[in-house]
Structures are given as C-alpha cells and as structure tokens.
Structure 1
Amino acid sequence: MQDPIRVVVADDHPVILFGAEQALLKFQGIRVVARARQSTELVKILQTTPCDVLVTDLAMPGGQYGDGLPLIGYLRRNFPDLPIVVLTMLENAALLKRLSELGVISVVNKSDDLSHIGLAVQHVSRHIEYMSPSVKSALDTLRMNTGGKNDEVILSKRELEVVRLFVSGMTIKEISEQLNRSIKTISTQKNTAMRKLGLERDSELFQYAQSNGLMNLSSYAPGAADTGTGPTEER
C-alpha cells in the first residue's frame, strides 16, 4: 500500500484552515500532519515535521518570515524540494507570473470549490502543475492579452518609487511634492506601472503591493534595490 501524502496546511483564518483540512480529508491517500497560522509557526513545523506538500495561504501577516511573495521566496530557497500549493483570493496577471517565476506550480483560488486543494496536492506530489479553474482562466486571459509572450514585467525605478509611496498612503499630490515632479507625471507613472502589472484598480495595486512585500517601506530609499517586481529600467 502506498504511503499517504503528508500535507502541512497554513492559513491565518481559522475557517479557511478548517475548510482546507476537511476538504483534504475527503481524499484517500492524503494526510494532514500539521497546521500553521503564520510564518514563524510554519517554518518551525517544516524544520521539524516531515511532509510531502505544503498548502499555504498567500496573505498571512504577523510572522517572523513575513507573507506574500517574500515568504514564498524564503520557502523556495530553504525548502527547495517541497512542492507548494498556494491559496489566494488574488488572480492578477503580475502576481501569478511572479509565483511561477518562484517555482510554484500550483495555485488554488479560495473562491473555487475546496476540492481543488486535494486535486492540487495529488498533482504537485507528482511534480505536475495544477491551477484551479478561475486561476487557469486568468492565466489563459493573460496569454491571450500578451499574444503568448512571457516577457518579464519591468518597472522603471521611478515607477516603482511612485507605487511604493502610493501604497504607503500618500496621495498623487503629496508624491509629486516629495519627488519634485508634476502631478501629471506622477499620475502617468502610476498608471503605466499598473498597466505593466496587468492591474486595473487601485485596490488591486494595494493587494499586489502587499503580496509583493512592497507595503514595508523600511528598506526603501530612492534608487534602492528593486525586489519583487523584476528588473528596472531607467527613464
């Protein structure tokens, strides 16, 4: 008899954590071996508990190792052989592309039926890609919009600068005053950045920034290294 697939589930919402575990219990051959509510707890579990697949929420603040893309990057570097199924409510093109670049081959949208979590676990345990229906639809739309190209998203340093200040809570007018640029220039740079990232609404920009670790401005300084959004170009 084949050994069960050992799964660790991480989510900061108890209802989602419970729902994911219950969904996995319906699959023979899958066993939940541990649960985590934030990154500190998750990393400790992964260091001490043998598992075959990690199912983790993307937005899971409060832990020592952060959340969003920075956490996924940390997990990929420190547990490179562990397949990851990412749970998220977000499905914008830039986010899905960054997850793929980090080596994540499975994303499940929480709005899809929770049975897709078990299907995802079965697939990634065999190193096969699995995307839930709404995620697959978003990826198909992205491919159609880009003509099948997979060019890396590039933000200029000035665009990234504007995005970081905007998601920190500053208005376009305040950013223009701080950076000594016209309101029209700041607005254009923000809109250009959103277009490059495949985002249409400010709320999506905030969600993307949170998942990308851009909400933490402690390491920000004009001209600093631009992590999480691909290389930058000068303008």
Structure 2
Amino acid sequence: MPYKIRVVIADDHPAIVEGIKQSIAVSTIELMDTARNSTQIIALLDKGIADVLVTDYAMPGGEFGDGLPLFEFILRRYPDIKIVVMTMMDNPGVLRTLIALGVRCIISKSDDASHLIPAIHIASSGGQYFSPTVNAIVQTLDKPPGEDNKDVNLSKRESEVIRLYVSGMKINDIAAQLHRSKQTVSSQKNSAMKKIGVASDADLFKYALEVGLVPSSSPPQD
C-alpha cells in the first residue's frame, strides 16, 4: 500500500474546512478528521492519528487557546507532529515568531489553495514552505528566522492596554480605569506596538483580532 500522509484540518469556519478538503483531495493525503477549536485539536492529536496538522491561526473558544501559545504547546507535547498554519496575518513579528517556534510551513489565506498540497508534503518531510504572500514578508525580515523570538511577548500591562484600546476605549479612559497616568498608558501602547511590529492603529487592530486580544466577530459554531 502506498504511503499516505495523515492529516487533521482545524478551522472554526465549516466552509473553510470544506474548501480545504477539496483542495487536498489527492491520493497521497488521507484526511483523518477535522476540528473547530483547540479542545478538539488536542483530543484528535492525543489519538495519534495525524502526521500533519493543517490549522487556522486564530480559533477562539478552545480550552488550549489559539495562535502562538497553542502551537508552542502542540510542538512541545507532540514533537513528531508537523504543522501547516493558514492565516491572514501579515505581521513580520508574528511570522518570525512562528518560524522560531518551529512552524516552518505557513500559507496565507489570500494565496491560492493549491499551495496546501505541496505545503503538506514538505511539512511531512520536515521541510520549509511559504506561500508567495508569506514568502515576500519573510524575505523582508531584518533578522534570520529564529534569532529573536521575543518580538511579540507583551508584558501583562502592555497586553491589558492593547486589549482595552482595541475594544474601543481612548487613552484617557484606559488611564482612568487602570489608575495609571495618560503618559504611562501611551508609553505602554507604543512599546507594545513596537514589539508587535506595527506602526498604525489599523494594523494593531488586525493583530489584536488575529491573536485573540479582541473577540472574533464570527458567530460561535455549535
């Protein structure tokens, strides 16, 4: 019997899952199961049924979180699992940190789904694959991947400020609520943006949505 790569798909949007199923319907890939959040992902990986996990970056609501903390947990708990991350995130700091964690195959959702098949095969063999949009960003990184994995490690106070800011609060209101000076809050916001690698509020909102600092507007899936 020819070797098949066993794959688990994880995304909290059923339509995306169906699209991925169709995109990877080839003889060398065997779809084992699907998951909608991190709780289901871990339950499936515990069964040992997957060689490669194809997963969205942001999937709020699961017991094990999502984004960078989830991937770090998976790679530590299941060292043989390979991960292909799909994302709309185009932030260089986040991509650098993903690569530093050991996620070496990243697909932008803005690129054609045909990149999934080579990404799965290359991930299975321990290689590196970036879709064109991701590759273009990776090429602009000012440091080699893995050299600095602290770009997006915000302090507790910085995360608190960013979470409140993207929820719609103004700097003055945040300062009043947290009992800090306006200057301190502004400084913490600027420090966080520098760590994240964004220069505009629009990019900050995109980052916050992607990593779960602001709730997704998508309805929960039962």
Normalised TM-score (structure 1): 0.78
Partner of 2:190: 191
Measured against aligned partners, the alpha-carbon deviations of 1:75-134 in whole angstroms (never above 9, x if no partner) come to 222212100001111120121122123221111011101011111101010000111110
Distance 2:84 2:167 in 1: 29
- Partner of 2:140, secondary structure, is helix
The 5-angstrom pairing of residues 66-215 of structure 1 reads 66-143=65-142, 150-151=147-148, 152-153=150-151, 159-212=158-211, 214=213
Identify if the C-alpha distance between structure 1 residues 74 and 149 changes in structure 2 by more than 3 Å, giving closer, same or farther: closer
Q: What RMSD in Å do the two structures reach over aligned CA positions? A: 2.6
Shift of 1:19: 1.0
Distance 2:8 2:144 in 1: 37
Partner of 1:35: 34
Shift of 1:192: 3.6
Distance 2:202 2:90 in 1: 13
Distance 1:209 1:113 in 2: 25
The 5-angstrom pairing of residues 13-28 of structure 1 reads 13-25=13-25, 27-28=26-27
Unaligned runs of 5+ in 2: 216-222
Over the matched positions of the two proteins, sequence identity in percent amounts to: 47
The 5-angstrom pairing of residues 42-57 of structure 1 reads 42-57=41-56
Partner of 2:8: 8
Normalised TM-score (structure 2): 0.83
Shift of 1:186: 2.9
In the alignment, residue 60 of structure 1 is paired with which amino acid? M
Shift of 1:138: 0.9
Identify if the C-alpha distance between structure 1 residues 107 and 188 changes in structure 2 by more than 3 Å, giving closer, same or farther: same
Identify if the C-alpha distance between structure 1 residues 209 and 80 changes in structure 2 by more than 3 Å, giving closer, same or farther: farther
In the alignment, residue 4 of structure 1 is paired with which amino acid? K
Distance 1:82 1:147 in 2: 24
Contact 1:70 1:212 in 2 (8 A): no
Identify if the C-alpha distance between structure 1 residues 202 and 15 changes in structure 2 by more than 3 Å, giving closer, same or farther: same
Unaligned runs of 5+ in 1: 217-235
Distance 2:12 2:20 in 1: 12
In the alignment, residue 11 of structure 2 is paired with which amino acid? D
